Structure 1
Amino acid sequence: MTEPSWVSGHHTAMFDIKPRLRAAGIHLGVSACIALVAAALVFGLWFRWPYREVSGGTDLFLIVIAVDVCLGPLITLSVFDRAKGWPVLRRDLAFVALLQLGGLAYGLWTVHLARPVHLVFEVDRFRVVHAADIPTDLAAKVPRGIDSPPWTGPTLLAVRPFRNPGESVQATMVALGGIHLAARPDLWEPYVAARGAVLQVARPVSDLRRRFPSEAGAIDEAIREAGRPESQLAYLPLVGRKAAAWTVLIDGRSAEVQGYLRLDSF
């Protein structure tokens, strides 16, 4: 007795779904391995702790990877059909791979532009400067000896003192327009040149205990990780992109950065 056409079609669909799922699963595994390599680049080089949180690197990377890792296998699941013949199937899969790699490259380029490049002392705080924050018309005014933008994570810099009242007024007007002083290469100087100014405005860590008694545990943990006695540490607020503010712990004598604390100390 001959099976009805709808039964035969049902059996064929059930038979075809297994190789589709297998191909999509293999594609998903390869995509996950590529995502791990990308994560090593992003979090090992560009968004080291605490910048993955301060600058929103984790969320940005997860969005890029989630879209890219899911996109390729889903398209493979849709187009994989042995009935096409291997020449046509190889062409389709190659197109899917190129599409996915193109999406990954664009996503990583976006993350690359959003990466933190400098931690800059700005008047009475530290500010994280990202590659996209630096005005393109000032990119050529980076002082000699400063690598900008670096490829290996944020470097310590400082905003130099204004040379005259006119420069101060002009910089203030530009800052009101949305370009922070810390993002302007023409105002940068090596961090070592600003150590005196940093120590002058830094506050003792004991002040944090007084202001935030409920955060005593987090403060103690940050001090332990800094590896310095509390009496040798001071702090300044840190402004990032995503978080409203963190806190930077510095050595009370050398002004060297010793650690970070997830605490708004403004």
Structure 2
Amino acid sequence: MQQPSVSVGHHTSRLDWRTRLRAATIHLGLSALVAATAALLVFALWYPWPYREISGGRELFQLVVAVDVALGPLITFAIFNRAKPRAELRRDLAVVALLQLAGLAYGLWTVQLARPVHLVYEIDRFRVVHQVDIPEELADRAPAGIAIAAAGGPTLIALRPFRSERERVDFTLEALRGVALAARPELWQPYEAARERVLRAARPVAELKARYPQGAGAIDEALRKSGREPARAAYLPLVARKERAWTVLLDAGTAEVIGFVPLDSF
């Protein structure tokens, strides 16, 4: 009896497809592990809560990682072939890995440049200043003890009072041209020096809850986490990069920042 024929070419093609898929899956797992390590750096150090929301760190990192993590395994799927000489296959995979790591490094560099470096009290509000907001030519004007961009998360500082009416007009005009007052290192001072001004500008949290009754739950939860009673809390608006405005909650007696809520309090 004649045995049924087997298509060797079809069988080989199916095995090749499976081998490529297995190699790409392994590459995807390794890429995800590297991405998870990078996420730890980004969200634990550069964009701690709430800055990952306020400054768009989450979306920026997700974009970088999605492109990088997907691209490497796809290229591996396209080029992996057991029929290649072993040295050639290793070389191809090494090139893919190097390109992927270079792309991730460039993406992390971009995320690092966009990271928030200071939470600045600015006249009657707070403003998040990002590293890219600070003009390079002004970097050497920061006062002693305040770094342009500390290694960790954003530091809390304030603007000093204007020394003259001319200075106020000049810096205000510069702000209208695009350089926010809070992004000018020559105007920075320690937050402690501005506590009295912060307390004078701050408003009772009861006013915020009356204005936004639908946000009362979020306000109460933030106060509960801080251990403050509503009567001991105040608030000021927060200006950040994203369109969605936030509010800073303060201790009404010390001006200490005790929480953040996603409400527009301007």
**TM-score, structure 2 length as denominator?**
0.96
CA distance in 2, matches of 1:161, 1:244: 28
Match of 1:189 in 2: 189
What SS is found at the alignment partner of 2:145?
Answer: coil
Aligned mates of 2:109, 2:126 — CA distance in 1: 26
Aligned to 2:232: 232
User: How far did residue 240 of structure 1 move?
Assistant: 1.1
Task: Give how far 1:158 is off.
Answer: 0.6
Cα displacement string for residues 34-80 of structure 1 (whole angstroms, at most 9, x for unaligned residues) = 01100000000000000000000000000000000001100000110
User: Structure 1 residue 227: deviation in Å?
Assistant: 1.0
Output one character per residue of 1:112-139: Cα deviation in whole Å (capped at 9) or x when no partner.
Answer: 0010000000011000000000011100
Aligned to 1:35: 35
Correspondence for 1:165: 165
The alignment partner of 2:186 has SS state of helix
- 1:80: which partner in 2? 80
Distance 1:263 1:243 in 2: 12
Q: Is residue 219 from structure 1 mapped to residue 223 from structure 2 by the alignment?
A: no
Gaps of 5+ in 1: none
- What is the CA deviation profile of residues 172-230 of structure 1, one whole-angstrom value per residue up to 9, with x for unaligned ones? 11100111100110111110000011000000001012111222212211211221111
Indicate the residue corresponding to 1:245 in structure 2. Answer: 245
Instruction: Return the letter of the residue paired with 1:150.
Output: A
Q: Structure 2: how far apart are the matches of 1:118 and 1:226?
A: 21
Correspondence for 1:25: 25
Once the two structures are superposed, the pairs formed by residues 1-266 of structure 1 within 5 Å of their partners are 7-266=7-266
Runs of 4+ in structure 1 deviating by more than 2 angstroms, as ranges, are 7-12
**1:127-183 alpha-carbon deviations (Å, 9 max, x no partner):** 000000001110010101112211100000111111111111110111001111001
Amino acid at match of 1:180: A
The separation in 1 between residues aligned to 2:184 and 2:211, in whole angstroms, is 33
Residue identity matched to 2:224: R
- Could you tell me how far 1:8 is from its partner in structure 2? 4.4
- Which range moved further: 7-16 or 107-116? 7-16
Structure 2 unaligned blocks of 5 or more: none
User: What is the letter of the counterpart of residue 258 of structure 1?
Assistant: I
How far the C-alpha of 1:13 sits from its partner, in A, is 1.5
Contact 2:244 2:262 in 1 (8 A): no
* Cα deviation code 1:236-266 (max 9, x no counterpart): 0111111431011111111010011111111
For residue 159 of structure 1, what is the amino acid of its counterpart?
A: L
User: SS in structure 2 opposite 1:149?
Assistant: coil
Question: Which deviates more from structure 2 when the two are superposed, residues 7-16 or residues 60-69?
Answer: 7-16
CA contact (8 A) 1:53 1:243 kept: no
- Structure 2 letter corresponding to 1:173: L
One-letter amino acid matched to 2:194? A
**Amino acid paired to 2:198:** V
C-alpha separation between the residues in 1 aligned to 2:181 and 2:188? Answer: 9
